[in-house]
Amino acid sequence: MAAPVLLTNPLREAMQLERTPDPCTMVIFGATGDLTRRKLMPALYNLALEGLLPHGFSVIGFSRPDHTLASSQDALSAFRERFKTSVKSFSRRPIEPAVWDTFAQNTEWVAGEFTRAEDYQSLRAKLQEVDREHGAGGNRIFYLATPPSFYSEIVRHLGEAGLVTNRATGQGWTRIIIEKPFGRDLATAKALNDEILKVFKEEQVYRIDHYLGKETVQNILVFRFANGIFEPIWNRNFVDHVQITVAESIGIEGRGTYYEEAGALRDMVQSHMLQLLALTAMEPPGAFDAEAVRNEKVKVLQALRPIQNFEVAEFTVRGQYGPGWVAGEYVPGYRQERGVNPNSTTETYVALKVFVDNWRWAGVPIYIRHGKRLPKRVSEIAIQFKNAPHSPFIRAAQLPSEPNLLVMRIQPNDGISLRFAAKMPGTVMGMRAVNMDFTYDEAFDVEAPDAYERLLMDCMIGDSTLFTRKDEVEASWKFITDILDGWCELAKVTEVRFPNYDAGTWGPPAADAFIERDGREWRRP
């Protein structure tokens, strides 16, 4: 393995300089929520620690007042304390008192109910005050870390309160970050886009999918398009099939109410997994910029062959876990989880066979699977190549050779490995599959930032390459909605028999039969 690459200070400084954002203020709606606590606050603090936040940067938390606190000064102190506690618990690096003190000084709070127009006027006054004191020049990011049912209403109030400006007016820029889920089917995603685009322009809208902020996900593009040797074989002539796996060993972590409404297909496949598919299958963009990259991704999503109602049984498998053993611990079944209907038919496992109907991928199946309470936590994309057209080793072979396999591991043990056949030492021509392996940890002596750090920074800079565009979201929902409709139709004629896999196993037996029908098998990473 080559020596680790150390990024020297001048190189880091040059990269940093190129990415210095304008002064700005970030308003977090849902400032007391789980996402803010576990992801946003630690990400902002780590950016401060790296010296990456612009001068004049402030955060304003917008949340419901705690009536046990006597004054707004007490509420602000409580908010700062909450911020500090979450950084202590979830930051990848510990608190440095000097950095924290400066950072905390730039943290403000506004009492707000999402549905009350006058609270947006208080927010407006606070933003003006912050602009005056910190010189943020009217530049604003609104982060909607809220239940999705409030997205439209908050956007409307922001518009009505005159809080959405654009650079052309000389009042600074406004951007909005919207969390997933973005809709629950094609109709609701379109309706939400329409509502948002009444108030914001598309270039102001940052629909976040935190998978795109992961280093290893971005590395798919670097691996494919910064190297000359892979693209020529990245197509139907050389690829037998692709397997995209996002396996989780955890269950629903107390989010029963949310998960009952969502299910595995909506929760994971519509967003993260179709993004992985798009990055794996897209054509090379002319440049690494927001429009070029997203133009290519959307073409893939629009080329997904629809799975019609009558085809869902052939192209999809659903599952739900029952009780079982995971990592030596006995865990309850999905139907026994808090907030879950004891007769629930929500899927916690899904496998799909997908085709991208274009010149490059014609006839190459892309198998997607995601499940909860599987034996391991692993996310990867495995490209299996076709066998050599002729083997001269037939008579001498000791073991059958395995096809070449390229695995891009997203987590854990992030990296890439390539499997190929090697001669076994000895006097006969025996062979065995071996792996050539790259891992991030060994190759780079730099700790990767959390996905949210990268994405918050990109939004401050105004780079939406790693955020999803309106047409992308709608194309992915179109594909998913067909499957949801097909499942509804199927349920009218065939009883859904759940649970159909034990926690701690690799999903329902039907999923194995599904891929074995094609003469293939799932990887067991």
Ligand X SMILES: NC(=O)c1ccc[n+]([C@@H]2O[C@H](COP(=O)([O-])OP(=O)(O)OC[C@H]3O[C@@H](n4cnc5c(N)ncnc54)[C@H](OP(=O)(O)O)[C@@H]3O)[C@@H](O)[C@H]2O)c1
Contacts of 77 (CB under 8 A, 6+ apart): none
Among all residues, which ones are annotated catalytic?
272
* Choice from 23, 148, 365, 507 touching ligand X (CB under 6 A): 148
User: CA-CA distance, 418 to 437, in Å (whole number)?
Assistant: 7
Considering the complex, state which of residue 90 and residue 444 has its C-beta at the smaller distance from ligand X. 90
Identify which range of 144-152, 246-254, 335-343, 430-438 contacts ligand X by CB under 6 A.
144-152
Residue 115 lies near ligand X (rule: CB under 6 A)? yes
Take residue 172 and report the two structure tokens written for it: 């600074």
Nearer CB in complex with ligand X: 134/207: 207
Number of residues that bind ligand X (CB under 6 A): 21
Q: How far is the CB of 184 from ligand X (least distance, A)?
A: 11
280 close to 403: Cβ distance less than 8 angstroms: no
Closest approach of ligand X to the CB of residue 29, in Å: 7
Q: Does residue 500 contact residue 510 with C-beta atoms inside 8 Å?
A: yes
The count of other CB atoms within 10 Å of the CB of residue 395 is 7
Helix (H) / strand (E) containing 281: helix 274-281
Which parts of 157-196 interact with ligand X (CB under 6 A)? 179-181
- C-alpha 458/C-alpha 130 separation (Å) is 22
Q: Does 378 bind ligand X (CB under 6 A)?
A: no
Contact with ligand X (CB under 6 A): which of 109, 114, 259, 477? 114
The nearest distance, CB 58 to ligand X, in angstroms, is: 19
When the beta carbons of 231 and 253 are compared against ligand X, the nearer one is 253
Task: Return the DSSP state at 36.
Answer: I
Cα–Cα dist 463/451, whole Å? 15
Segment near ligand X (CB under 6 A); pick from 106-114, 228-236, 451-459, 472-480: 106-114
Helices (H) and strands (E) in the chain, counts: 17, 18
Choose the stretch contacting ligand X; rule: CB under 6 A; options: 94-102, 145-153, 230-238, 449-457. 145-153
In this complex, which beta carbon is closest to ligand X, that of residue 39 or of residue 294? 39
Which tokens belong to 339?
A: 């907030």
Q: Which is nearer to ligand X, 179 or 482 (CB)?
A: 179
- Helix runs in 52-150, H state only: 72-90, 97-105, 117-134
Could you identify the residue written with the tokens 């992961």? 214
H-helix or E-strand spanning residue 206:
strand 205-207
- CA nearest 63: which of 116, 25, 19, 4? 116
Q: Does 145 bind ligand X (CB under 6 A)?
A: yes
The H or E element that residue 211 is part of is none
Which residues on adjacent β-strands are paired with residue 82? none
Is the omega angle on the peptide bond into residue 449 within 30 degrees of 0, that is, cis? no
CB of 121 to ligand X, least distance (A): 15
Rounded Cα distance between 377 and 411, Å, is 8
Q: Which string of x and - marks every residue 29-68 that binds ligand X (by CB under 6 A)? A: -xxxxxxx-x------------------------xx----
**Nearest residue (CB) to ligand X, 209 versus 296:** 209
**CB 61, min distance to ligand X, A:** 9
Shortest distance in whole angstroms from residue 238 CB to ligand X: 36
Segment contacting ligand X by CB under 6 A, of 110-118, 361-369, 412-420, 481-489: 110-118
Show contacts with ligand X in window 264-293 (CB under 6 A). none
Shortest separation between residue 78's beta carbon and ligand X, angstroms: 12
Asked if residue 307 lies in contact with residue 484, where contact means CB atoms within 8 angstroms, the answer is no
What does the binding site for ligand X look like in residue numbers (CB under 6 A)?
30-36, 38, 63-64, 112-115, 145-148, 179-181
